[in-house]
Amino acid sequence: MKIEFEKTMHITSELLSYCHLKGASDFRLDISVIEDNDDAQYTQYKIEASPVRLSSDELTSLGKKLDTPRQPEIENDFWGLSGESGNSSEMSLVGMITDEAYIEYDESNLVLAITLRRKNL
């Protein structure tokens, strides 16, 4: 259970860091455990941050990084692979340890919303 909590904290840290690097100063974060119709449990991460300034290329790149098939074998190595490089490459690693990603960007209000779901194995 401790390892799962550490993964949750690391995912949260990466989301906050990414938004901060993109200019956000206002954050809303929600982490919850939900069940789907098949009784599978997921941890769901939702972050809403503003003001975030993203170009269309940056938004596309973020989507590609988070829309990476889950790779459970990388989860044990996640800590050593991620770092504080500031170039958002860690978001690819977050994509590899989550199952679903949804991104919404309100360009007129500069609000970025990211929802990630990670199936509890």
Structure tokens, 82: 């991620």
Q: What's the pLDDT score for residue 53?
A: 95
Residue 22 · residue 54 · CB < 8 Å: yes
In this prediction, residues 22-36 reach a mean pLDDT of 94
Q: How many domains does the chain have?
A: 1
Q: What's the pLDDT score for residue 105?
A: 98
Q: What's the pLDDT score for residue 82?
A: 55
Mean pLDDT of the chain: 87
Q: What's the pLDDT score for residue 76?
A: 66
Q: What's the pLDDT score for residue 80?
A: 56
Which one is predicted more confidently, 6 or 83? 6
Distance, CA of 63 to CA of 34 (rounded, Å): 23
Residue type, 27: F
User: CATH no. for residue 25?
Assistant: 3.30.565
> What's the domain range around 67?
2-119
- What are the percentages of helix, strand and coil residues in the chain, rounded to 5? 40, 30, 30
Residue 78 · residue 97 · CB < 8 Å: yes
| pLDDT, tens digit (0-9, with 9 covering 90-100), for 74-107 | 776 665 555 544 454 588 889 988 999 999 999 9
